[in-house]
Amino acid sequence: MTYSYDVDLYTPDSGNFVVAVTHYDLDLDYRLSSNRLQAIATLSVIAHESLSKFSLDIFGLVVTKVSIDGVRVARFTQTKSKLKVDVPQGISAGQQFTVVVKYGGNPVPMPTPWGEVGWEELTEGVLVAGQPCGASTWFPCSDHPRNKATYRFSVTADSPFYVVANGRLVSRTAKASRTRWVYAQTQPMPAYLATVQIGKYRPQGLPAGRIPFNSYIPSDLAEQFLADFSCQKDMMELFERLFGEYPFGEYTVVVTDDDLEIPLESLGISVFGRNHVDGSKGSNRLVAHEMAHSWFGNSVTVSTWKDIWLQEGFACYAEWLWSEESGGKSTTDWAQHFWLGLRALPQDIMVGDPGPALMFDDRVYKRGAITLHALRLHLGDDKFFDMLRQWTTIHEFGSVTTEDFQNHVMTFAGPSSASVSAVKTIFMAWLFSVALPDFPVTSRWATKKK
């Protein structure tokens, strides 16, 4: 895996560009009544270049001790969002070393241009939503989407509460009135996808196929939850046919007892609010959207945030694919519906580089999805879905750019220079031109179920 990366101009204050973290071991002790966190983070780090100092992202928490390879660091400083560490003995390029950070405080979400992100108190519990730069609200990190690492989470909390984190539950140990939960995330992920969810949840079984499903919900929502989420088995089977094998060992859904404005994805876990569970599949498209992020976002992750359409446009298109599969509107109907909506909106966004202020604009999602529909019409179903399956396989657990995707698509366009030119035209018109292109139609290919 390549660990080097450049500053992300959308989140320029996040990440460190002289080091990369390859593993996080987080030991967290959390008191819900006082929102008090005491923690030790052990980071495995590799230096990109020779260095005498480096920094890590941390926000709203106080660092009390730092050591490197077992030697206590005499000098470190903190700013509002950075831990700056001096390394008197120096570290050479390519050297691997271990950093241990002891820290604590009252975690709070980070204010950003996109709202508050990170650690957030619920009425009874905690929610962590790190996208795009909120991981530093609960652990010291290099919060850049390209810096992927493995994780171990040890979380101690009050026993009435259930703790969910990324990866496999390794152990659960109760002692007196507190319980220690240990999770291991062995596939690499960026810091923004790391999460911990704490609440008075009950496990809820769901029909499962090849992939085990875990569900943790408020006890009074069991009937409605089963009605809304039992379709996940069929959803997973469809997406595995179209996108390739599910890249992780299990899939988890958490439903908070609070309402949430939108569902939230993290690696292997999707989080919904109780307002998304109504017993009548009212949020069915969102269930599909969050599951699709398992392939597009959680496994294959953007290298920088300007390419966010590679995650959100793909997840949006998955909504339409599921609609078609489950007897609802076809992908063509949905594409045309949202194209008409886009036509009525201002034409002032370039989806392939929307700028930080517009990176979560709905036009990125919908126009990105129609880009895929245009490619599907051009390539035909067989080539299009083969292209997607190879994309997720080649870049599994990796980091990608729009240029990578365009080059990948062109290998499926065939030897004809006209076909290759058509692919380039689709990318330019839909992603790198402000004007909305005409609705994509073709007389050669018909949109159909796969």
Tens of pLDDT, residue by residue over 97-136, are 999 999 999 999 999 999 999 999 999 999 999 999 999 9
Q: What sign for the dihedral angle of Cα 34, 35, 36, 38?
A: positive
Q: Is the pLDDT of residue 444 over 80?
A: no
Q: Is the pLDDT of residue 447 over 50?
A: no
Mean pLDDT across the stretch 53-79? 96
Shared domain for 41 and 158, answered yes or no, is yes
Percentage, residues of the chain above pLDDT 90: 92
> Active-site residue among 30, 201, 216, 290?
290
For residue 103, indicate whether it is catalytic: no
Shared domain for 364 and 391, answered yes or no, is yes
Q: Is the pLDDT of residue 35 over 90?
A: yes
| Separation between Cα atoms, residue 442 and residue 216, nearest integer Å | 45
CA distances from 166 to 82, 251, 346 (A): 25, 10, 39
Shared domain for 213 and 290, answered yes or no, is yes
Q: Is the backbone of residue 351 left (phi > 0), alpha (psi -120 to 50) or beta?
A: alpha
Structure tokens that stand for 178 in this block: 């507190």
> Active-site residue among 10, 151, 183, 365?
365
Mean pLDDT across the stretch 313-336? 97
Shared domain for 175 and 32, answered yes or no, is yes
What are phi and psi for residue 286, nearest 5 degrees?
Answer: -70, -35
Domain count within the chain: 3
Closest to 448 (Cα-Cα) out of 325, 265, 311, 270: 325
Shared domain for 280 and 308, answered yes or no, is no
Judge whether 337 is annotated as a binding position.
no
| Separation between Cα atoms, residue 191 and residue 148, nearest integer Å | 7
Q: Is the pLDDT of residue 6 over 80?
A: no
pLDDT given at position 443: 39
Closest to 243 (Cα-Cα) out of 395, 427, 397, 393: 393
Shared domain for 180 and 271, answered yes or no, is no
Q: Which domain holds residue 390?
A: 302-431
pLDDT given at position 311: 98
Q: Say whether pTM exceeds 0.85.
A: yes
Mean pLDDT across the stretch 255-271? 96
For residue 223, indicate whether it is catalytic: no
pLDDT given at position 148: 97
CA distances from 410 to 318, 381, 398 (A): 22, 15, 20
What are phi and psi for residue 153, nearest 5 degrees?
Answer: -115, 125
pLDDT given at position 448: 39
Judge whether 319 is annotated as a binding position.
no
Mean pLDDT across the stretch 397-420? 93
Contact 345, 361 (CB under 8 A): no
pLDDT given at position 302: 98
Q: Is the pLDDT of residue 16 over 90?
A: no
Domain-terminating residue out of 263, 294, 325: 294
Judge whether 373 is annotated as a binding position.
no
